[in-house]
Amino acid sequence: MCRQSSAVDLGEALMAQNEIETVDALLVGAGIMSATLAVLLKELDPGIKLEIVELQESGAIESSNPWNNAGTGHAGLCELNYTAEAADGSVDIKKAVNINTQFEVSKQFWAYLIAKGAFTSPREFINPIPHLSFVRGAKGVNFLKNRFAAMSKHHAFAEMEYSEDRATMTEWMPLMMANRPADEPIAATRVLGGTDVNFGALTSQLLGYLNKQTASEVKCNQKVTGLQRTANGWRVEIKDTQSGQAREVNARFVFLGAGGGALPLLQMSGIPESKGFGGFPVSGQWLRCDNQEVVKQHQAKVYSQAEVGAPPMSVPHLDTRVVDGKTSLLFGPYAGFSTKFLKHGSFLDLPLSVRPSNLGPMLAVARDNMDLTRYLIKEVMQSQEQRLDALRKFYPDAKTEDWRLEIAGQRVQIIKKDPKKGGILQFGTELVAAEDGSIAALLGASPGASVTVSIMLELIERCFAGKARDEWVGKLAEIFPAREKTLESDAELYRKVSEHSDQLLQLANKSSVAAASV
Q: Which tens digit of pLDDT belongs to each residue from 267-293?
A: 999 999 999 898 888 778 899 999 999
CA 269 to chain CA mean position, Å: 24
Domain annotation covers residue 513: no
Query: Is the per-residue pLDDT at 9 higher than 60?
Result: no
Domain annotation covers residue 287: yes
Q: What is the average pLDDT across 38-49?
A: 98
Which residues sit opposite 227 in a β-bridge? 236
Q: What is the average pLDDT across 507-514?
A: 56
Q: Which tens digit of pLDDT belongs to each residue from 14-24?
A: 444 557 899 99
Q: Which tens digit of pLDDT belongs to each residue from 394-427?
A: 999 999 999 999 888 777 888 888 888 888 887 7
Q: Which tens digit of pLDDT belongs to each residue from 176-205?
A: 999 999 999 999 999 999 999 999 999 999
Query: Is the per-residue pLDDT at 211 higher than 70?
Result: yes
- Can you give the pLDDT at residue 1? 66
Question: Cβ distance 141 to 164 under 8 Å?
Answer: yes
Domain annotation covers residue 397: yes
Q: Which domain holds residue 304?
A: 277-424
Least confident of 7-11, 104-108, 162-166: 7-11
Q: Which tens digit of pLDDT belongs to each residue from 225-246?
A: 999 999 999 999 999 999 999 9
- Please give the mean pLDDT across all residues of the chain: 89
Domain annotation covers residue 363: yes
Domain annotation covers residue 29: no
Q: What is the spatial distance between Cα 240 and Cα 227, in angstroms, rounded to a whole number?
A: 16
Determine whether 208 is exposed, middle or buried from the number of CB atoms within 10 Å of its CB (0-12, 13-18, 19+).
middle
For a pLDDT cut of 70, what percent of the chain falls above it? 92
Question: Cβ distance 78 to 191 under 8 Å?
Answer: yes
Q: What is the spatial distance between Cα 72 and Cα 78, in angstroms, rounded to a whole number?
A: 10
Domain annotation covers residue 365: yes
Residues 126, 127, 133, CA angle at the centre, nearest 5°?
Answer: 110
Q: What is the average pLDDT across 313-326?
A: 88
Cβ neighbours of 57 (radius 10 Å): 13
Of the pLDDT bands very low, low, confident and very high (cuts 50, 70, 90), residue 462 is very high
Count of structural domains within the chain: 1
Domain annotation covers residue 200: no
- Can you give the pLDDT at residue 7? 44
Q: Which tens digit of pLDDT belongs to each residue from 134-165?
A: 999 999 999 999 999 999 999 999 999 999 99
Domain annotation covers residue 458: no
Question: Cβ distance 383 to 287 under 8 Å?
Answer: no
Of the pLDDT bands very low, low, confident and very high (cuts 50, 70, 90), residue 341 is confident
HEC profile for 436-498? CCCEEEEEECCCHHHHHHHHHHHHHHHHCHHHHHCCCHHHHHHHCCCCHHHHHHCHHHHHHHH
Nearest to 93 by CA among 142, 140, 156, 135: 156
